[in-house]
Amino acid sequence: MGNHSLILLLILSIATTISAHNITEILSDNPDYSQYNNFLSQTKLADEINSRTTITVLVLNNAAFSSITSTHPLAVVKKVLSLLILLDYFDNTKLHQITNGTTLTTTLLQTTGNAQGNIGSVNITDLKGGKVGFGSAAPGSKLDSSYTKSVKQIPYNISVLEINAPIIAPGILTAPPPSSDVNITALIEKAGCKTFASLILSNGLIKTFQSAADKGLTIFAPNDEAFKAHGVPDLSKLTNAETVSLLQYHAAAKYLPIGSLKTNKDPISSLAANGAGKFDYTVSTAGDSVTLHTGVDSSRIADTILDATPLSIYSVDSVLLPPELFATSPSPAPAPTPAGAPSPTPASAPSPADAPTPFPASPPAPAGESPDGSPADAPSTAAERSSSGKSAGVHVKASAVLTITVTALSAFVISSVFMS
């Protein structure tokens, strides 16, 4: 591949991940919205807004918003905010041109999956005298909130409008049960990840997960199919420490809802990270599809099992293989920074020489198995996994070289964007 086409691919893949607007920046112009803005960041809803287009954000000034923030926990504030994020574009003109003067519109609360009936929708009604009223779409609700002014528009991408009071849907102020009460094993078993559930149970990792659940935790649980795929290492050949590292690699000590994964630009550090290695991965997004890249393989996020601040749980299509355990020697750790490039053989880590055979010989998997994604997905999972023995090493090295090249180039492109 010539340098030009590589750069072109790179620019294309960056274009799909850099969003056109930044709600934090838009609202930072006005100190009246500082509370609202602060809570959009705390709840990570800012990422969700930035990862979408055709969206309307109904903002409240500090005085109007304090009625919610002063008396309710973060999980409730998040629900209230979610109901103020409309998945359609309304500016001043469109508000006054609603067909028949009234409409229902879907909000971000609806997409969380636990909003029942019309709870996640908002009623917008063009009232007499130029007033526009907002209320819950649930039957019998009043239009308790009114449009006050337009704040900012980027036509058809994002509109920010001010309203004078929060929209209260029935039940929205009820706090959900705390994340530490969630039975993680039961949830992921039910979502088709029984193998992973039994592994974290038998290795005692479930205790770590449960105790981290209310401090910020994201779990990427491979589904049962993932463990049956060709090329998945034979877990019985791993040492206990390696198995634990592999399982810890499937979680991060951070709340990462899907919007945050989509807008994330930095490598995500997993629970396996310690002095012995970075144990991280990068994320790429193509439309609604989000893929994690370890440097050895990649895995698509299949489903959101739970999004309950500060705990998020996903099922993923493939077992994530950390380069620290599964790269063939000489280890091509995909290092984003040339300086101090980590030799992945620190004290307590298993050295590559001791590492288990990463790719047990197996018949090649049928081609075209991997979900097609962004250009960054080119070294696809299926291709990497279908190889065995020596050729796997070649594939791994090639993809690592590509990763380094792409990382270096993107650092260059990003710095030139920000320096200009």
| Contacting residues toward ligand NAG, per CB under 6 A | 20, 22, 24-25, 28, 50, 53, 99-100, 102-104, 123, 125, 135, 143, 154, 157, 183, 185-186, 189, 263
β-pair partners for 314: 220, 304
Shortest distance, position 308 Cβ to ligand NAG, whole Å: 16
Nearer to ligand NAG, 189 or 384 (CB): 189
Cα 252 to Cα 275: distance, rounded to the nearest angstrom: 16
Q: Closest approach of Cβ 142 to ligand NAG, in Å? A: 6
SS3 state of residue 198: helix
**Nearest approach, Cβ of 292 to ligand NAG (angstroms)?**
19
Q: How far is CA 216 from CA 43, 68, 207, 293, in A?
A: 11, 23, 15, 22
Measure the CA–CA gap between 394 and 88, rounded to whole angstroms: 48
The whole-angstrom separation of Cα 184 and Cα 313 is 9
Q: Which residue carries 């077992």 as its tokens?
A: 319
Residue with Cβ nearer ligand NAG (102 or 415): 102
Complete DSSP assignment for 362-378 = -PPPPTT-SPP--GGG-
Report the nearest approach of ligand NAG to the CB of residue 99 (Å). Answer: 4
In the complex with ligand NAG, which residue's Cβ is closer, 132 or 333? 132
Specify the residue, 186 or 401, whose C-beta has the smaller distance to ligand NAG: 186
Q: Which is nearer to ligand NAG, 263 or 328 (CB)?
A: 263
The helix (run of H) or strand (run of E) holding residue 9 is: helix 3-17
* Minimum CB distance to ligand NAG, residue 392 (Å): 36
- Cβ closer to ligand NAG: 123 or 284? 123
What sign does the CA torsion over 322, 327, 330, 333 have? negative
What are the residues facing 158 on neighbouring strands?
55, 154
Q: Could you tell me the smallest distance in angstroms from the CB atom of residue 25 to ligand NAG?
A: 4
Whose CA is closest to 381, among 393, 357, 394, 365?
Answer: 365
Q: Whose Cβ is closer to ligand NAG: residue 363's or residue 418's?
A: 418
The least distance separating ligand NAG from the CB of residue 168, rounded to whole angstroms, comes to 14
Q: What distance in Å separates the CA atoms of residue 106 and residue 103, rounded to the nearest whole number?
A: 10
Give the Cα separation of 381 and 399 in Å (integer): 11
Q: How far is the CB of 189 from ligand NAG (least distance, A)?
A: 5
Dihedral sign for Cα 330, 335, 338, 340, please: negative
Cβ closest to ligand NAG, residue 170 vs residue 356: 170
Cβ proximity to ligand NAG, 157 vs 362, nearer residue: 157
The residues, ordered by sequence, that sit 6+ positions from 55 with a Cβ below 8 Å of its Cβ are 49, 85, 86, 87, 88, 89, 157, 158, 159
**Which is nearer to ligand NAG, 81 or 197 (by Cβ)?**
197
Find the shortest distance in angstroms from Cβ 140 to ligand NAG. 8
Q: Please, which residues bridge with residue 286 across strands?
A: 289
Smallest distance, Å, CB 103 to ligand NAG? 6
| C-beta separation of 213 from 182 below 8 A | yes
Distant-in-sequence, close-in-space partners of 19: CB < 8 Å, separation ≥ 6: 50, 51, 263
